[in-house]
Amino acid sequence: MLSNLGTIFVIIALLISFLLIFFSLREFKTNNNLIPGKIFKFSLLQLFFSISSFIILLIAYIISDFSLVNVYENSHTNKPLFYKISGTWGNHEGSLLLWINILVLFSSLFLFINKNRDKNFKILTLLFQNILIVIFLIFLLSNSNPFSKLFPIPLEGLGLNPILQDPALAIHPPLLYVGFVGSSIYFSAALAALISKIDSRTLAVSIKPWVLVSWFFQTVGILVGSIWAYYELGWGGYWFWDPVENSSLMPWFVMTALLHSILVLERRIGLYSWVIVLSILTFTMSVTGTFLVRSGILNSVHTFASDPSRGLFILSFLISMVFFSTYIFFKFAPTENKKYAIFSKETFIIANNWFMIFFLGVVLIGTLYPVFLDTITGSKISVGPPYYNLVLAPFLIPLLFLMTSGPNYKWISYETKSFFDVVLVLSVLLFLITFFIIKNNSFLLNLILFFSIYLITQTLFDFYESFKKRNVNISRIISHLGFGLLIFFIYINHIFSQENNFNLKLGEIKKTDQYIIKFENLEEKSVKNYKSIVGYFNISDKKTSKTKELKPEIRVYDRPITITYEASIDSNLFSDTYLTMSNISETDIFNIKFQVKPFMNFIWFSVLLLSLGGLLNFLSRNKNEKN
């Protein structure tokens, strides 16, 4: 029954999408300035049936309805309720249905929130958004139906991948989907703006809240995924340039560039076409990331199962979307000939944009090059941190300088600002103090350290000044402070991190320069859905004489049969002590990875601060629009 009802609701949502496309086309040709009420009603009905279909799938997971293939393959009766719920989107079919729900939700919200905007702009946005909805609904029904039946009905399911059974990863995909799919609405709005020829401020004010929402959720989603990988996968770091990690980072670069460009556009001083290009490119990168994750061409711990037909569909859609949007752009894009003063705020924003696009290009090449090489020559390589560090690190220096100096210049102004000021002098002093404490001899790393300190100091001064002035952009100050702190603590973490890999038997001791690690005990435990072997390790610090106990685990899940290695982390404000163990097959020897990771909590806090700036910008949008 649930299978039939879910499929029926999806089909109804598809039919309503076709009706919305039909009525949108018809209304676009009329001279009436008001959108008929039936379009609003159909949009609400579309949202109702779309959400209802997802709720039906959710119920099927909660009650363990194994008559659905999707539930059988990704759940079992003994799985905790929380992971039954998260299992709904922890697979290709369920996550695609969630993807469609977000498309529909953003379509309805845009229509109702922008009631006072130009009619043709709203109608065309609705039209393009529903074309996307139709395409993905057809994909869902023809290739990835989460309501496909299974007969005879099995008594038990196969279970969800144990690696995905984690609170952080349960919320990680929905956060990223809002970021990924949220970019669709300003993709549709950008194409609509070109055809309806709305003015720059109307476009900027219309899409800015959606850009902020998608950027905020994308940032937080990346953060949650990074924290999950840190403690769940035993990697022991905050970022490893994994291809699927990169697929979430690529649209983030473009979103960040777009956010800054909108600041110029809403003041009617150019970048209209550039904002259109960035809006199109953001969703293009989102679909590219979706293709990489769902096609099976990437080898990663968190890709979906390989299915060439799915990859072919998404690739075909991606190519068609790029050609169609390019055609619309060149046919309708206005001619712009804006000249900016060298030392003006808009010039610094444009430079910031080009750095973001450069970072995007570097990550895109690093992610796709191994795929193309494998396809053409059959050679398998991986592109890791050395490539990204070598290429990206030098360009962090001018970016940090732009973020520090740019906000202090005026709009449309030829007035130059003195380079030497109290902030610079104070930054130099703080850098020298830090340098003599750290004593790192890398010229490049020291430059990055200096400019991160310069950015932090300037934003703190700006924060102080904001209490004395009105209309100061607090959200910008907080985001820039978060970014400066992020770079600073990544630098400190890189310099002072320690890692030791060695083998131990039960009862043996390993001594490092600073620590004594004793393998004290092993214990077997049985939990509801897995069995585990827990190791007890005593860690003694030679310098402080303090001791701590770490208890890493080897877990064996039976549905499906999977072995995971759980890190044990002793975390305090300033440093994490991190240990994982794995058994060497058919021996009593365990491989131990012991790490000390300073300032990890400060890295997570910096990203939260960065995202908080975007949230504050969104919450203050009404005040900014009135100004």
Of the pLDDT bands very low, low, confident and very high (cuts 50, 70, 90), residue 286 is very high
Strands 515-527 and 509-511: antiparallel
Q: What is the pLDDT of residue 416?
A: 54
Of 120-134, 282-296, 353-367, where does mean pLDDT reach its minimum? Answer: 282-296
Distance of CA 449 to the CA centre of its chain: 26
Q: Which residues contact 213 (CB under 8 A, 6 or more apart)?
A: 178, 182, 618
> 618 is written with which tokens?
């969104």
| pLDDT digits 0-9 by tens, 104-148 | 999 999 999 987 788 999 999 999 999 999 999 999 999 889 999
Cα–Cα distance between 323 and 175 in angstroms, integer? 29
Contact by Cβ (8 Å): 106, 185: yes
pLDDT at residue 299, as a whole number: 58
**Residue 30 DSSP one-character state:** S
Q: Does 364 score more than 50 pLDDT?
A: yes
The secondary structure of residue 296, as a DSSP letter, is S
Rounded average pLDDT over 279-287:
95
Strand partners, 576: 571, 597
Per the structure block, which two tokens stand in for 238? 């905050």
Say which residue the tokens 């340098």 belong to: 435
Dihedrals phi, psi of 110, to nearest 5 degrees: -60, -40
Give the pLDDT band (50/70/90) at residue 361: very high
CB 123 within 8 A of CB 35: yes
Two structure tokens written together for 260: 């800054």
Helix axes 272-295, 243-265, angle to 10 degrees: 170
Backbone torsion region of residue 471, taken as left when φ is above 0, otherwise alpha when ψ lies between -120 and 50, otherwise beta? left
Q: pLDDT: is 53 or 92 the higher one?
A: 53
Say whether pLDDT at 534 is over 90: yes
Q: What is the mean pLDDT of residues 78-94?
A: 88
Nearest to 207 by CA among 331, 114, 345: 114
Please state the rounded mean pLDDT for residues 6-32: 92
> 66 and 154 in contact (C-beta within 8 Å)?
yes
Q: How far apart are CA 45 and CA 245, in angstroms?
A: 36
560 preceded by a cis bond (ω within 30 of 0): yes
Lowest model confidence (mean pLDDT) among 21-35, 182-196, 409-423? 409-423
- Residue 93 in tokens: 């079919």
Cis, peptide link before residue 209, omega less than 30° from 0: no
Q: What percent of the chain has pLDDT over 70?
A: 93
DSSP 407: G
- pLDDT value, residue 414: 56
* Res. 30 pLDDT band, cuts 50 70 90: confident
Kindly tell me if the per-residue pLDDT of 277 is higher than 70: yes
The packing angle between helices 167-196 and 243-265, to 10°, is 40
What integer best gives the mean pLDDT of the chain? Answer: 88
| Integer Cα distance of 488 and 404 in angstroms | 14
Taking the model in full, what pTM does it have? Answer: 0.92
User: What pLDDT, on the 0 to 100 scale, is given for residue 279?
Assistant: 96
Q: 3-state DSSP call for residue 116?
A: coil
CA pair distance 555, 578, nearest whole angstrom:
18
The pLDDT assigned to 627 comes to 40
Pairing outcome for strands 547-550 and 530-541: antiparallel
For 604, the token pair is: 């997570």
The three-class DSSP label of residue 3 is helix
**Residue with the larger pLDDT of the pair 50 and 367:** 50
SS3 track for 527-591: ECCEEEEEEEEEEEECCCCCEEEECCEEEEEECCEEEEEECEEEECCCEEEEEEEEECCCCCEEE
Per-residue pLDDT, averaged over 573-601, amounts to 90
How does DSSP assign 427-471, residue by residue?
Answer: HHHHHHHHHHHH----HHHHHHHHHHHHHHHHHHHHHHHHTTSSS
Distinct helix (H) and strand (E) counts, the chain: 18, 10
Q: How confident is the model at residue 346 (pLDDT cuts 50, 70, 90)?
A: confident
3-state secondary structure of 526: strand
Q: What is the pLDDT, as a whole number, of residue 301?
A: 52
- Asked whether the beta carbons of 262 and 353 are under 8 A apart, the reply is no
User: What proportion of the chain, given as a percentage, has pLDDT over 90?
Assistant: 57
Which pLDDT score, from 0 to 100, does residue 32 have? Answer: 78
Look at residue 548 and tell me whether its pLDDT is greater than 80: yes
DSSP state of 343: T
CB 280 within 8 A of CB 261: no
**pLDDT at position 28, please?**
87
171 within 8 A of 97, measured Cβ to Cβ:
no
Does pLDDT of 295 surpass 60? Answer: yes
The pLDDT of residue 459 is: 93
Residue listed under structure tokens 């009436």: 32
| Selection from 291, 100, 280 nearest residue 177 by Cα | 100
What is the SS3 assignment for 325? helix
Amino acid 256: pLDDT: 96
Given this model, what pLDDT does residue 313 score?
87
Q: Indicate if the pLDDT at residue 302 is higher than 60.
A: no
Smallest CA-to-CA distance from 578 within 486, 498, 523, 509 is with: 498
CA atoms of 334 and 191, how far apart (whole Å)? 13
**404-435 pLDDT tens trace:** 988 887 776 656 555 557 888 999 999 999 99
User: Which pLDDT tens digit goes with each residue over 304-340?
Assistant: 555 677 778 888 999 999 999 999 999 998 877 677 7
DSSP state of 78: T
Cβ count near 575 (within 10 Å): 18
CB 217 within 8 A of CB 178: yes
- In the DSSP assignment, the letter for residue 509 is E
> For the residues 429-444, what does the mean pLDDT come to?
90
Phi, psi of 500 (to 5 degrees): -135, 130
Residue 62, SS3 per DSSP: helix
Q: What is the pLDDT of residue 234?
A: 67
pLDDT at 250 over 90: yes
User: pLDDT by residue (tens digit) across 210-238?
Assistant: 999 999 999 999 999 998 888 877 666 78
How many C-beta neighbours within 10 Å does residue 545 have? 7
Supply φ then ψ for residue 168, to 5 degrees. Answer: -65, -45
Say what the pLDDT of residue 228 is.
87
Q: Is-contact 406 346, C-beta < 8 A?
A: no
Q: Could you read off the pLDDT of 446-494 as tens digits, one per residue?
A: 999 999 999 999 999 888 877 776 656 788 999 999 999 999 999 999 9
| The pLDDT of residue 626 | 44
